[in-house]
Amino acid sequence: MSETIDSNTMKYKLINLYQQNKLAIDAGLTDSMNKHREESIRYFDSLGIPYKGDENYKYTDMMHAFGKMYGYAFKSPKTVVDPETIFHCAVPDLDTHTIILENGWYYAKNQEQSGLPNTIVALSIREATEAYPELIEKHYNEQANNKGQATTAFNTAFAQDGLFLYIPEGVVLEKPIQVINLLRGTNPLLVNQRNLIVAGKNSQSKLIVCDHTLSHQHFLSNTVTEVFVDENAIFDFYNIQNQHNQSSQVTSLFITQMKNSNTLCNTLTLHGGFVRNNIHIKFKGEHCEANAYGLAIVDGKQHVDNYTFIDHAVPNCTSNEMYKTILDDEATGAFNGKILVRPDAQKTLAFQSNKNICLTNTARFYTKPQLEIYADDVKCSHGATVGQMDEDALFYLKSRGIGGHEAKMMLMYAFAHEVLSHIRVPVLAERYGELVEKRLRGELSRCEGCFVHCN
């Protein structure tokens, strides 16, 4: 099933798939989503599947993800996770409102069991097109549209479902919302999930997104999430990526921030054969703060690539970025961190750090900071390192009787810890700590305590 084909042939196959199924894709959806399709597929056609070496894909071959044969489902899967199990599943110590999506489709029973207060709107984006037409009209594809991203345009052409989350003005959500994305099937599957999140003025909310696979097929999930964060709002987005190592995952997160807003996104990559994360953050109002963190622990032949683009379009905003990777075996990884400070964006503070450890000499990491600064009164810093484990620290531990493996574990954990220390949900930080430790010990096949028994 996994024969490889060239990029152009694949592109035509996908465009053909779109044309053949246009009716099925449009079915049951309003114009607010459908009207974007034609332009997007043309845009996808003009860009093509990114090739390795392309400006933003210097070290990542997208054909690794796209160059396989996948099935496609234009309808919601009939069988969904047994609700009984879901009710018993609450992840220990992590009290959340749980929402499930299977193969990118919103699970119909989420409403009853998420326990979300009715001040918050969580819906399938399909339903939202009927129930919240103004919000969809205003925000859907507003950020993602034609931003030079073929995978995003591809998603817009095909998108049929996903999460719609609306935190109205002034609502403060105590518990985090946890979205569990499940992939399962009897055949290889390509999934385009599309999420839209609107965080109203003065609202506060936290979202945890867990990505899992439930069966062993090849999957390609191509997810686009647009987040609009209105004035004075605080919004956190935590993504735990733990798909199996034959799956490929492409995520594109777009965040627009209005005046005085504050966001945090944190991507934890544990398993997954091929992962490419795109993060676009744009400040549209002054006095905003954005925090983007990432930690990837990869081994075997895993590949992980984090691309970030922070657009300081207005003055007086702060961005903090910290991405770290630990690579074992023949794993490879890349980081590309673009920061654009536009001519008017005076008093910008932008900090970026990318640190990576290669545990073997077959592991490879490529890092590329990209600062474009057109304002003069700004403070920007960036630093990137790719190295081995600190020999002096290792000797210090050994000199106290903490030997080989245990010492290495401790230092790797310490290295990872810096990213974990920025998590703004204390119990989640603890849980991340446990996951990271298990992953480092090679004991993690799935999220401990999660009801989803994926391997």
Partner 1 sequence: MLSIKNLKASVDGKEILKGINLEVKAGEVHAIMGPNGSGKSTLSSVLAGSERFDVDGGEVTFNGKNLLDMAAEDRAREGLFLSFQYPIEIPGVSMVNFMKTAVNEHRKYLGQDSMSAGDFLKMLRDKKKVVEIDDRLTSRSVNEGFSGGEKKKNEIFQMAMLEPKLAILDETDSGLDIDALRVVANGVNKLKTKDNSTIVITHYQRLLDHIIPDFVHILYMGRIVKSGGKELALELEEKGYDWIKNEVAVG
Task: Specify the amino acid at residue 160.
Answer: Q
**CB-nearer residue toward partner 1: 206 or 324:** 324
For residue 391, state whether it binds partner 1 (rule: CB under 8 A).
yes
**CB-nearer residue toward partner 1: 16 or 385:** 385
Q: Which stretch binds partner 1 (CB under 8 A): 168-176, 355-363, 379-387, 406-414?
A: 406-414
Options 404, 441, 448, 455; binder of partner 1; rule CB under 8 A: 404
* Residue 395: CB minimum distance to partner 1, A: 6
Q: Which stretch binds partner 1 (CB under 8 A): 145-153, 258-266, 270-278, 400-408?
A: 400-408
For residue 406, state whether it binds partner 1 (rule: CB under 8 A).
yes
For residue 377, state whether it binds partner 1 (rule: CB under 8 A).
no
Options 398, 448, 453, 455; binder of partner 1; rule CB under 8 A: 398
**CB-nearer residue toward partner 1: 170 or 403:** 403
Q: List the structure tokens of 447.
A: 């999220």
For residue 388, state whether it binds partner 1 (rule: CB under 8 A).
no
* Residue 406: CB minimum distance to partner 1, A: 6
For residue 342, state whether it binds partner 1 (rule: CB under 8 A).
no
Task: Specify the amino acid at residue 81.
Answer: V
* Residue 339: CB minimum distance to partner 1, A: 25
Options 92, 117, 343, 403; binder of partner 1; rule CB under 8 A: 403
Q: Which stretch binds partner 1 (CB under 8 A): 4-12, 27-35, 295-303, 407-415?
A: 407-415
For residue 410, state whether it binds partner 1 (rule: CB under 8 A).
yes
Paired sense of beta strands 189-199 and 163-167, if any: parallel
* Residue 320: CB minimum distance to partner 1, A: 17
Q: Exposed (0-12), middle (13-18) or buried (19+): which is 62, by Cβ within 10 Å? A: buried
Q: Which stretch binds partner 1 (CB under 8 A): 13-21, 148-156, 268-276, 408-416?
A: 408-416
The residue count for binding partner 1 (CB under 8 A) is: 23
**CB-nearer residue toward partner 1: 377 or 392:** 392
For residue 397, state whether it binds partner 1 (rule: CB under 8 A).
yes
* Residue 228: CB minimum distance to partner 1, A: 35
**CB-nearer residue toward partner 1: 69 or 410:** 410
For residue 375, state whether it binds partner 1 (rule: CB under 8 A).
no
CB under 8 Å to 455, separation ≥6 — which residues?
A: 216, 244, 445, 446
HEC string for the chain = CCCCCCHHHHHHHHHHHHHHCHHHHHCCCCHHHHCCHHHHHHHHHHHCCCCCCCCCCCCCCCHHHHCCCCEECCCCCCCCCCHHHHHHCCCCCCCCEEEEEECCEECCCHHHHHCCCCCCEEEEHHHHHHHCHHHHHHHCCCCCCCCCCHHHHHHHHHCCECEEEEECCCCECCCCEEEEEEECCCCCEEEEEEEEEEECCCCEEEEEEEEEECCCCCEEEEEEEEEEECCCCEEEEEEEEECCCCCEEEEEEEEEECCCCEEEEEEEEEECCEEEEEEEEEECCCCCEEEEEEEEEECCCCEEEEEEEEEECCCCCEEEEEEEEEECCCCEEEEEEEEEECCCCCCCEEEEEEEEEECCCCCEEEEEEEEEECCCCCEEEEEEEEECCCHHHHHHHHCCCCCHHHHHHHHHHHHHHHHHCCCCCHHHHHHHHHHHHHHHCCCCCCCCCCCCCCC
For residue 414, state whether it binds partner 1 (rule: CB under 8 A).
yes
* Residue 264: CB minimum distance to partner 1, A: 20
Options 147, 175, 342, 417; binder of partner 1; rule CB under 8 A: 417
Options 127, 286, 289, 418; binder of partner 1; rule CB under 8 A: 418
For residue 399, state whether it binds partner 1 (rule: CB under 8 A).
yes
* Residue 241: CB minimum distance to partner 1, A: 22
Options 1, 395, 441, 453; binder of partner 1; rule CB under 8 A: 395
What are the residues binding partner 1 (CB under 8 A)?
Answer: 391-393, 395-404, 406-407, 410-411, 413-418
